[in-house]
DNA sequence: CTGAAAGCGCTTACAG
DNA sequence: CTGAAAGCGCTTACAG
C-alpha cells in the first residue's frame, strides 16, 4: 500500500540506507552519496509518492533523541471551563496551529482536559512518547503549569495560547490586547473624536482589563476627555449560558439624559457591536452620523458586524506563532521564557466617520 | 524515561515477549503464561507506570495488519467554509469524539481542509500510516466522499458527523433534527397550545429543512392549527458575518396587527431564543403568560437562554457515537452503510406554560 | 505446548 | 571515506 525506502532502493539497485541518507538533510548524508545518485533517489521517491512511515520514524528516532529533528507531534490541550466564550476562538487558534504544523510535517493531537482525571490522558500520551510538545488553551493557571513541570509529565515543552493566569515564567503567545484598546482610540481620535466611551463587558477577564488599560492609556496620551462615567454606566451584560453579550439599552438612556452622550464608542467584546445598532436607533442615535462605533472581531467570518469598523484580533496568527514557538523551544532545550504579543489591526468600515458635532454638554 | 517491556521483563526475570503476551488479550497469550505469572506481570507493569510506546505498537502492527486491534489513531477533518455556524458545534463534537477515543486508547489528529491543496495533508497522513480512520465535519458532499473512496486515499474508513450533502451511501451520525421539530410541538401541545408558530432562520440548510418537516408533521398529526402565514412571516434574520441570528421584530408586529399572534413559538436556531424576550416585551407579549417559547441549544453552556425551555441537540453524543461507529467499521472491513440519528431531549424551563388564552382571531 | 526469533520501516552509529 | 549493521519497542508467527 504505502511505499517504503526498501522498495525505492530495490527499484534503483541501491541499499535502503542509501535511500534514507538521500532523503535526509544531515551533513553526513551529503558525502555519503554522489549528488547524481542523491537526485535520482529523491526524484524517484517523489514520483512513487513516498511518504515516510510516521511510526517508524518516531521509533527510530527514539534511539538517539535528537530533539531538533524529531518534532512531528504536537498536542493541543483544551482546558475546559474557560473564561470568555473560548470555543470559536479556540477553533480558530487550532486552525492556525495546524496550518503551521503541517508545513513542518507535524500533526496535532486534540486532548480535552476538564476534570483532574483527564490529566491521565495527557500522561498516557506522554509516557507512550506520543507527543513532542503541548499547546495549551483555556483555563491555564499555575496549577496546570506546575503539573506540566513536574513528574511524570515534565520534560515536554509547552506554549500557552491566549489568556492565562500564570505567575510563573512561561512561554506564551497572545493577542496584544493593550494595543486593541489603543488602536480603537487612535482611530477615533484621528477622525476628530474627543469624547470616546468604552462599553465594557466586565473586568473579570485578563483581556478585558488589558483592553481597558490600553484604551485609557491612549485616551490620556492623546489628551482626550476622560469622563469615567462614560465607562462606568455603559455596560454590556453578558449571559454566560449563551456565551453572548447584550447591550443594556438603559445605559444609553442614562448617558443621553445626562448629556453625556459620547461622539464615539468602542465595544471590545468580539461580535457585540452588531447588537448595538438597533439599540442606538431606538435612542435616535444614528451611526456613524451622530456617533461612530468601533467593535472587535476575529477571522474574516467573525467580524464585529457587517462591514462595520472593528479591531481585528489576530487569533489565527496566535496559533501560527504558537506552533513556531513550540517548535523552536522543542529544539533548544532551555530557552528563556517568551511572552509573544501579536498586534491587532484596524479594519475600516461604515460605522466610523468624522466627528461632526460638538459633544453635548 | 518511559518504561519498556524489556525493563519489566528484566525486573521479573522473564523474557520480553512474555511481558508482551501478558499485557495482550489474544487467546494465545492465555496459554503462554500461567495465570500467576500473568497477574504478576500485569501488576508490575501497572505500578511501574508502563504505557506502550505508541509508535512501536503501530510499527509492529504494520506487519500483520489486524485491523480490529490496531485502531489507535483517528483523524478529524474539519471541512471549512461550512454551512451554519459550525465552530462551536464542531468543537463540541470533537470533545465527544476525543472522550470516546480516549477510552479506546486512541487519539485524535486535527486536520483542517479548506482548499483543494489541503487534501495533500490528508494524503500525507494516510500514506505515512498515520491514521486508522477519519471523522468528517463541515461541508461534506459527494466530491469529498469520492475523494476518500478513490486512490490514493481509499482503504481508510470514515464517518461523517453532523449535516452533510452526500447522495452516495455513507456512514454518518447526526442529531435527529426531525425529532427536534416534533419534540417542540409535542411539548407545547401537551400544555394546551394549538396555534404554534415556528421562527425559521431559513431553509437553506439541511437541519433547517428537517426541523421544519418534523415540526409540520407533528403539528398535522396532533391536529393543531396549520397557519402557514405564521411561519412565512416570522423569520429570523441571519448575519453570516457574525454567525449570530437576530429576530426581525417587524415579524411580531405583523402577526399582532393581523390578529395572528400565536400562543406559542418555536425558535429552532440554537441560542436565538434568548434574543427574543426583549423583542416580545416591546410588543407587550409576556413570556410565558401570553406566549410560550421553546428554543434550541446544545451542551450545558450553550442553552438557548437562561433556564428557558429548549430542545437540546445532543452534539457531544453525536461525537461519541461517531467515534464508536468509526471504531466498529474500522474492524469489520465492509459494514453496510449506517446513518445514525441521535434523538434530542427537551429541557423544561420558565419560558413555557399552559395555554391561558384563546388565540386571537 | 513452550520460548526465543523475526520483523515492522526507519535513523545513524560504527565496523571495514 | 564507504556501506552494510544495529537498534528503536513492540507483536506474533514459528522454530524447538
pLDDT tens digits, one per residue of A297-340: 887 554 445 688 999 999 999 999 999 999 999 988 777 899 99
CA of B1 to C1' of C11 (A): 20
Cis peptide before A288 (omega within 30 of 0): yes
Which residues of chain B does A50 touch, with a Cβ-Cβ cutoff of 8 Å? 127
Task: Calculate the CA dihedral of residues A79, A80, A83, A86 and round it to 10 degrees.
Answer: 90
Residue B167, strand partner residues: none
Q: Which residue of A has its CA nearest to B120?
A: A102
Q: Given 3.30.420.250, 3.40.50.2300, 3.30.420.40, 3.20.20.10, which CATH number is that of B73-175+317-343?
A: 3.40.50.2300
Closest nucleotide C1' to the C-alpha of A28:
C12
Decide yes or no: CATH 3.40.50.2300 for domain A73-175+317-342.
yes
Give chain B residues 68-127 with Cβ within 7 A of strand D. Answer: 69
Please tell me the predicted confidence (pLDDT) of residue A243.
41
- Return the higher-pLDDT residue of B86 and A80: A80
CB contact under 8 A, B305 and A239: yes
Confidence grade of residue A251 (pLDDT, cut at 50, 70, 90): low
Q: Which residue of A has its CA nearest to B61?
A: A55
Please tell me the predicted confidence (pLDDT) of residue A228.
66
Q: What is the CA radius of gyration of chain B?
A: 26
CB-proximal positions of chain C, under 7 Å: 1-13
Q: Which residue of B has its CA nearest to A82?
A: B301
Smallest CA–CA separation between B108 and chain A, in Å?
Answer: 5
* Per-range mean pLDDT, top range of A147-151, A341-345, B125-129: A341-345
**Burial grade of A228 (CB within 10 A; 0-12, 13-18, 19 or more):** exposed
Mean pLDDT of A87-116: 93
Q: Is the CB of A63 under 7 A from strand D?
A: yes
Confidence grade of residue A211 (pLDDT, cut at 50, 70, 90): very high
| Extents of the domains making up chain B | 5-52, 73-175+317-343, 177-314
CATH topology of domain B5-52: 434 Repressor (Amino-terminal Domain) (1.10.260)
Please tell me the predicted confidence (pLDDT) of residue A356.
75
Mean pLDDT of A209-236: 78
Q: Which long-range contacts (CB under 8 A, 24 or more apart) does A21-27 make?
A: A23/A50, A23/A52
**Residue A9 has which C-alpha cell?**
532502493
Quote the CA–CA distance of B11 and B303 in Å, as a whole number: 54
Q: Which residues contact A238 (CB under 8 A, 6 or more apart)?
A: A201, A202, A244, A245, A246, A269
Tell me whether domains A73-175+317-342 and A177-313 share a fold.
yes
**Residue B264 has which C-alpha cell?**
406559542
Whether the CB of A64 is below 8 Å from some CB of chain B: the reply is no
Mean pLDDT of A141-170: 90
Confidence grade of residue A189 (pLDDT, cut at 50, 70, 90): very high
- Among protein residues, the one whose C-alpha sits closest to the C1' atom of C12 is A64
- pLDDT above 50: residue A239: no
Which residues of chain B does A94 touch, with a Cβ-Cβ cutoff of 8 Å? 110, 112
Q: Is the CB of B26 under 7 A from strand D?
A: yes
- Cα distances from A83 to residues A140, A167, B37, B239, B302, in angstroms, run 10, 17, 50, 25, 14
**Residue B325 has which C-alpha cell?**
461507529
Closest nucleotide C1' to the C-alpha of A24:
C11
Among B261, B268, B263, B228, CA closest to B247: B268
Q: Which residue of A has its CA nearest to B131?
A: A54
Q: Is the CB of B130 under 7 A from strand C?
A: no
Out of A129-133, A248-252, B55-59, least confident range: A248-252
- Among protein residues, the one whose C-alpha sits closest to the C1' atom of C13 is A64
CATH topology of domain B177-314: Rossmann fold (3.40.50)
Calculate helix-pair angle for B273-282, B249-257, nearest 10 degrees. Answer: 50
- Cα distances from B24 to residues B72, B273, B331, in angstroms, run 15, 52, 17
CB contact under 8 A, B240 and A301: yes
CB-nearest partner of A98 from B94, B110, B127 = B110
Q: Which residues contact A190 (CB under 8 A, 6 or more apart)?
A: none
Q: Is the CB of A71 under 7 A from strand C?
A: no
Class of domain A177-313: alpha beta
Q: Which residues contact A81 (CB under 8 A, 6 or more apart)?
A: A114, A138, A139
Quote the CA–CA distance of B281 and B278 in Å, as a whole number: 5
Mean pLDDT for all residues in chain A: 84
Interface test with A, best of B5, B55, B89, B129 (most A CBs within 10 A): B55
Please tell me the predicted confidence (pLDDT) of residue A247.
53
| Rounded average pLDDT per 10-residue block, chain B, 361 residues | 87 88 78 81 92 93 76 94 68 95 96 94 93 95 93 84 94 97 95 86 85 92 75 51 49 72 85 68 78 83 66 95 95 85 94 73 43
Confidence grade of residue A1 (pLDDT, cut at 50, 70, 90): low
Q: Is the CB of B8 under 7 A from strand D?
A: no
- DSSP string of B116-179, one letter each residue: GGGHHHHHHHHHTT--SEEEEEES-BHHHHHHHHSTTTTTS-EEEES--B--S---EEEE-HHH
CA of A187 to C1' of C5 (A): 74
Please tell me the predicted confidence (pLDDT) of residue B286.
81
In percent, how much of chain A has pLDDT > 70? 83
Q: Is the CB of A58 under 7 A from strand C?
A: no
Closest nucleotide C1' to the C-alpha of A34:
D2
Mean pLDDT of A50-58: 93
Smallest CA–CA separation between A94 and chain B, in Å?
Answer: 8
CB-nearest partner of B91 from A90, A109, A307 = A90
- Among protein residues, the one whose C-alpha sits closest to the C1' atom of C2 is B32
CB contact under 8 A, B112 and A121: no
- pLDDT above 70: residue A350: yes
Residues 239-298 of A with CB under 8 A from B: 239-244, 246, 271, 274
CA of B71 to C1' of D16 (A): 34
Amino acid at each position: 500500500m504505502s511505499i517504503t525506502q526498501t522498495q525505492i532502493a530495490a527499484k534503483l539497485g541501491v541499499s535502503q540506507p542509501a535511500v534514507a541518507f538521500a532523503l535526509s538533510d544531515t551533513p553526513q548524508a551529503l558525502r555519503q552519496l554522489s549528488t547524481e545518485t542523491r537526485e535520482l533517489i529523491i526524484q524517484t521517491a517523489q514520483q512513487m509518492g513516498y511518504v515516510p512511515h510516521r511510526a517508524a520514524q518516531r521509533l527510530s528516532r527514539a534511539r538517539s533523541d535528537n530533539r531538533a529533528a524529531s518534532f512531528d507531534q504536537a498536542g493541543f490541550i483544551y482546558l475546559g471551563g474557560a473564561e470568555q466564550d473560548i470555543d470559536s476562538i479556540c477553533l480558530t487558534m487550532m486552525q492556525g496551529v495546524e496550518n503551521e504544523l503541517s508545513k513542518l510535517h507535524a500533526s496535532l493531537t486534540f486532548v480535552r482536559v476538564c476534570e483532574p482525571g483527564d490529566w491521565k490522558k495527557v500522561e498516557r500520551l506522554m509516557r507512550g512518547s506520543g507527543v513532542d510538545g503541548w499547546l495549551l488553551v483555556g483555563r491555564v493557571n499555575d496549577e496546570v503549569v506546575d503539573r506540566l513541570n513536574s513528574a511524570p509529565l515534565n520534560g515536554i515543552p509547552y506554549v500557552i495560547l491566549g489568556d492565562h493566569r500564570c505567575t510563573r515564567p512561561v512561554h506564551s503567545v497572545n493577542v496584544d490586547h493593550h494595543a486593541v484598546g489603543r488602536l480603537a482610540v487612535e482611530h477615533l481620535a484621528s477622525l476628530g473624536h474627543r469624547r470616546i466611551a468604552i462599553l465594557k463587558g466586565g473586568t473579570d477577564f485578563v483581556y478585558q482589563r488589558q483592553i481597558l488599560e490600553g484604551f485609557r492609556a491612549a485616551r490620556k496620551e492623546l489628551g482626550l476627555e476622560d469622563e469615567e462615567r462614560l465607562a462606568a454606566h455603559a455596560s454590556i451584560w453578558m449571559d454566560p449560558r449563551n456565551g453572548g453579550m447584550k447591550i443594556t439599552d438603559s445605559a444609553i438612556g442614562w448617558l443621553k439624559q445626562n448629556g453625556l452622550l459620547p461622539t464615539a464608542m468602542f465595544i471590545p467584546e468580539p461580535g457585540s457591536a452588531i447588537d448595538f445598532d438597533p439599540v442606538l436607533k431606538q435612542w435616535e442615535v444614528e451611526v456613524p452620523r451622530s456617533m461612530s462605533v468601533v467593535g472587535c472581531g476575529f477571522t474574516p467570518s467573525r467580524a464585529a458586524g457587517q462591514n462595520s469598523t472593528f479591531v481585528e484580533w489576530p487569533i489565527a496568527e496566535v496559533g501560527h506563532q504558537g506552533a513556531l514557538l513550540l517548535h523552536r523551544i522543542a529544539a533548544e532545550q532551555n530557552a528563556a521564557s517568551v511572552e509573544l504579543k501579536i498586534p491587532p489591526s484596524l479594519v475600516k468600515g461604515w460605522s466610523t466617520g468624522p466627528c461632526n458635532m460638538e459633544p453635548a454638554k
